[in-house]
Chain A
């Protein structure tokens, strides 16, 4: 099966959106959710999730807390902060702007 690399720069958007929709998730759950929702089309290089999460922690968009998985394993759960929610809105509107523009270019072509 063919999988598409996610477009550069949208990883933050995907993580933010995922967390906004599902609340608290640990890293693996985030990766899985992105794949499942996109019907396995979007493929994150899974490891790159973690540096991205670190950067988001620094920016204060997400908060991390250690908790237990249903199978009682220690896992770090990430949650959106109000700042992260604002960032999500900003990224979304930017995304729509770009996609809209691209669509218009394609249609007129």
Chain B
């Protein structure tokens, strides 16, 4: 039949469904009319012939017609809604059954709510972070373009590289670059500057992420800064905060010295940039401007993060092979590209954004899945126990003619209904769980999407609820429907069949196995977190306050250092261009090499470079290994010097004393963005400081005196006085020296350490919660099964006691029955965890995936829990009075 025909047929069937009362009425009327007309005809005919009683015509008409009820049934069946009628019947019956045993229903629904709710919460996170597309136009065609320079494969691009890609690529319809720094801007009529995140973007960048500005327009290439006129686009937040949502802001100018800054446009309120955390791009820069045109010459600094959108109908693999061609052309034509073995890597933006959280979320989702399976096993156990009690009911139904399929369908309806209620309650559990989860502030996830319960999470919850309903209901329904009618009717047994016993044993075994896997995983993560808590970051964060200044030259900074040192309680003051463990500012790093390095070896050792004032190492508590700290005379007029960390020293001069050695630097030393080749002499070696992560050594560091490498900086103060009390005096000192300098942020270094731990803490808490849930549910499961065992074997126990068994023997018997699946589950759990725990490797620190103490602890914990869960029923069994037990039978 044509699809259209099928559709209209379905439409007619639907009509029948919604108006079936009317259909019935009409059919009755139609048939009644038929019978009456036939009866009259018969009567007339008979009268014509002989004249016969009315009753005969009546019966004759009905005889000819057939059974009215059967015809009605047949018509009903024709419309094809029989299954629905049966289903509503089953549903009503299931409702009644659940209401009749509220205790069972409550336990089952709660168990399911915990199991499904955990999944709802984690699904919401997975959906927001991994599944939903990024909130940008044609987000599925956006890619980030990383450069490979020597050993660094996620490097930014130079302005020249950007121009080359934009010119040579045909598959990218648009490419843009961005770089974010700290800056400050004045108001229209106020001198007090405000600290802002300043993004330098190429003219193609903003249209990649935003359809159009709410006011004004985006950049065009003609807007590039010329002399003293600078065009900017501002964020919605800055527009509201600083310009009072002025609708006529476009075209207005701000003045800094001689420079005129003109506002071109205002971005939408929900505009934010989602990029990988190592791209160092703030999510909501306040001000956007075009980069200095000088940066496009070859050999310029690599600072631009590139994002491109491929043309419709092309794919990332094609774009990659085109990029490979461009990279090769650049390597053959430009010497420095060849020396650094320049490559381009096209990575879909969302994939790149989520690369650090994908495995974590997958593992947590898997853990939540385990909890759900355990919950299912528990409910299946409950149903099995109930099936024993309901055996007589099923037998009667079967005796009255219910087919096996019909009985299974009815029992499944009941379990699916149970699953549905579990799903309803799971929404509440999921909501609470999600709130708890977000209270942990998992920054690495919050950056990536808005996490909340939405219709997709609801849909997920109910699909899961439905599937679990079938999953936990199927085996018990199959078992219950397998009936020996003759034997069953004679005595609906109270005792569980051996098959039932076996499946209960198997379910507990499964629960224990899954719990064991969750416990070992959590144990490893807890040990990781403990290691992270105790890791030595290379500095001592306690009692150190930092704040970021915007503006001011060396003289100002030097004077401020002196003035702040005089504040009461302050022990030492210095500054640095990049705070340890601060991911909010862009990182500076480059290749460094010693004298006599051939060009092809120059791009091998990379280091972060840091500008500091004298006293930095003392202030943050880093350890000077040898040599000296910088002094105020380490400036351009004297010998150019640097301090390296032990890692760089080891890599550059293995086995030699680095002091007095010469190191090549290709940036600094004559002011911001004055990139020149020069040699510096190493005057000191300091122990490595963990600047990027507590657990991973990303790059070694080299330190320069601020006077050689001026940069945006943050001050650090070590103080014996409480840190919050320092903020007001610091503001006063800054204002006293220079009113146009803004302070962007006060933050204690210990807060940065806490932030750096947030990922490990989040994962540990979450997996801990999941493992606790698993343990709790398993405990209930073991308790339930052992109790049921004691209850259903009361008579047997009574006989044993009557025959002279000691209560202790009985207790031992029950304990053994309870503990057997626990012991077996632990053994299988060990076998299962051996291949599973290595999946956690990426999340572990300071502990190996196969950690004997963790495995032993998990087994011990499960055994203790199992023991107590079976001990209580065992005690009850011990107190069985043989007389009562036998009489009960």
Contact = CB atoms under 8 A, between A and B. Distances in A.
Given A27-B34, A50-B75, A57 B70 contact: no
Interface string A35-50: 0000000000111101
Contacts of B5: 60, 83
B67 A46 contact: no
A74 B26 CA distance: 10
B74 A51 contact: yes
Given A46-B65, A75-B30, A76-B26, A51 B9 contact: no
A51 B75 contact: yes
Contacts of B27: 50, 54
Contacts of B37: 28
Contact of A50 (B9, B13, B30, B79): B30
Contacts of A54: 27, 75, 78-79
B30 A27 contact: yes
B33 A47 contact: no
A79 to B, nearest CB: 15
Contact of A58 (B67, B68, B79): B79
A48 B66 contact: yes
Given A46-B64, A51-B78, A58-B9, 10 more contacts: A27-B34, A28-B38, A46-B66, A47-B67, A47-B68, A50-B75, A75-B30, A76-B26, A76-B29, A83-B5
Contacts of B30: 26-27, 50, 75-76
B710 to A, nearest CB: 84
Interface string B69-87: 0110011011110000000
18 contacts: A26-B33, A27-B30, A28-B38, A46-B66, A47-B71, A48-B66, A48-B74, A50-B75, A51-B71, A51-B75, A51-B78, A54-B75, A54-B78, A58-B12, A58-B78, A58-B80, A60-B5, A73-B33
A60 B12 CA distance: 9
A76 B33 CA distance: 10
Interface in A16-74: 26-28, 31, 45-48, 50-51, 54-55, 57-60, 66, 73-74
B8 interface: yes
Contact of A47 (B26, B66, B78): B66
Interface in B23-64: 26-27, 29-31, 33-34, 37-38, 64
Interface in B606-638: none
Contacts of A76: 26, 29-30
Contact of B34 (A31, A51, A55, A58): A31
A75 B64 CA distance: 20
A58 B71 contact: no
Candidate in B12, B38, B66, B68 with the most chain A CB atoms within 10 angstroms: B66
Contacts of A26: 30, 33
Contacts of B33: 26-28, 73-75
A66 B33 CA distance: 13
A-B complex: 4 closest residue pairs judged by Cβ atoms:
A47-B66, A51-B74, A47-B71, A54-B75
Contact of A48 (B9, B71, B77): B71
Nearest to A55: B78
A46 B8 CA distance: 29
Interface residues of A, number: 22
A83 B6 CA distance: 13
Contacts of A60: 5, 8-9, 12
A47 B9 contact: no
B265 to A, nearest CB: 60
Contacts of A73: 33
Contacts of B70: 47
B2 to A, nearest CB: 11
Secondary structure call for the A interface: helix
Contacts of B71: 47-48, 50-51
Nearest to B77: A51
A58 B77 CA distance: 12
Nearest to B8: A60
Contacts of B78: 51, 54-55, 58
Given A28-B37, A55-B78, A76-B26, A50 B8 contact: no
B12 A57 contact: yes
Contacts of B64: 45-46
B66 A45 contact: yes
Contacts of A28: 33-34, 37-38
A45 B33 CA distance: 16
A47 B30 CA distance: 11
B12 to A, nearest CB: 6
Nearest to B41: A32
Contacts of A45: 64-66
Contacts of B12: 57-58, 60
Contacts of A59: 9
A21 to B, nearest CB: 20
A59 B5 CA distance: 9
Nearest to A76: B30
A51 B76 CA distance: 8
B26 A46 contact: no
A50 B31 contact: yes
A18 to B, nearest CB: 15
B74 A46 contact: no
A60 B9 CA distance: 7
A46 B70 CA distance: 12
A74 B75 contact: no
Nearest to B29: A74
B593 to A, nearest CB: 84
Contacts of A74: 29, 33
B69 to A, nearest CB: 10
Contacts of B77: 51
A75 B27 CA distance: 10
A22 B683 CA distance: 114
A83 B2 CA distance: 12
A79 B74 CA distance: 22
A9 B79 CA distance: 19
A73 to B, nearest CB: 6
A66 to B, nearest CB: 8
A48 B37 CA distance: 17
B68 to A, nearest CB: 7
A75 B36 CA distance: 12
Interface in A56-109: 57-60, 66, 73-76, 83
A83 B75 CA distance: 21
A66 B77 CA distance: 23
Candidate in A58, A73, A74 with the most chain B CB atoms within 10 angstroms: A58
A26 B29 CA distance: 12
Nearest to A56: B78
Nearest to B10: A58
Contacts of A58: 9, 12-13, 78-80
Contacts of A47: 31, 65-68, 70-71
A48 B68 CA distance: 9
A46 B79 contact: no
Contacts of A51: 71, 74-75, 77-78
A2 B260 CA distance: 112
Nearest to A47: B66
A61 B20 CA distance: 20
A75 B37 CA distance: 11
A60 B15 CA distance: 13
Contacts of B8: 60
A59 B10 CA distance: 10
Nearest to A74: B29
Contacts of B65: 45-47
A97 B8 CA distance: 31
Contacts of B67: 47
Contacts of B9: 58-60
A46 B13 contact: no
A37 B206 CA distance: 83
A65 B13 CA distance: 17
A66 B80 CA distance: 23
B255 to A, nearest CB: 79
Nearest to A57: B12
Interface in B271-296: none
